[in-house]
Amino acid sequence: MTSRELAASYLVKARARLKALAVLRDERAHSDVVREAQELVELALKGMLRVVGIEPPKFHDVGGLLVEHEAKFAPPVRAGLRRAAEISGRLRRERELAFYGDIDFIPTQRYSASDGARAYEDAAWVVTLAGEAVDLPPLDGSEPGAARS
């Protein structure tokens, strides 16, 4: 198996998770959308790193590595790397709270529909960008470049 094949596998998995994320969003499981969006984004970004020959580290937020190695990506993808890194960092900060909460933070009470919608939209955007980096056909039939609108 090559790095490109493994990267494509990561993206296939991320796309499947995006469908599951839509179900959670529709069920109004806002904290679960935030948590699962983080995992989806992590998988997609690690696929992007693999496709340019970088072994992803064993931590959750790899956005900084994308930016650090932006020269290895095609210009259309490069234009979205900073936004992808911002999304990754924000979702990483929410990862544990969205799943476990805390004594003074009940996830099902603290995350709103707008939190879930933002997490879903950001995850969908990252999946589109990753599809361009990995060179897979767009999920929805849109033209490449749609990720940066």
Domain map of the chain by residue range? 3-136
- Determine the Cα–Cα distance for residues 52 and 73; give it in Å rounded to an integer: 7
Nearest 10 degrees: Cα torsion 39, 106, 108, 113: -80
Model confidence pLDDT, tens digit, residues 27-66: 999 999 999 999 999 999 999 999 999 999 898 899 999 9
- All residues at 6 or more sequence positions from 15 whose CB lies less than 8 Å from its CB, including other chains: 127, 131, 139
Candidates 1.20.120.330, 3.20.20.140, 3.20.20.10, 1.10.1280.10; CATH matching 3-136:
1.20.120.330
Token digits of residue 8: 């494509």
Phi/psi at 58 (5° precision): -90, 35
pLDDT tens, N- to C-terminus, the chain (149 residues): 678 889 999 999 999 999 999 999 999 999 999 999 999 999 999 999 999 999 998 988 999 999 999 999 999 999 999 999 999 999 999 988 898 999 999 999 999 999 999 999 999 999 999 999 998 766 665 444 444 33
Task: With beta carbons less than 8 A apart as the criterion, state whether 91 and 34 touch.
Answer: yes
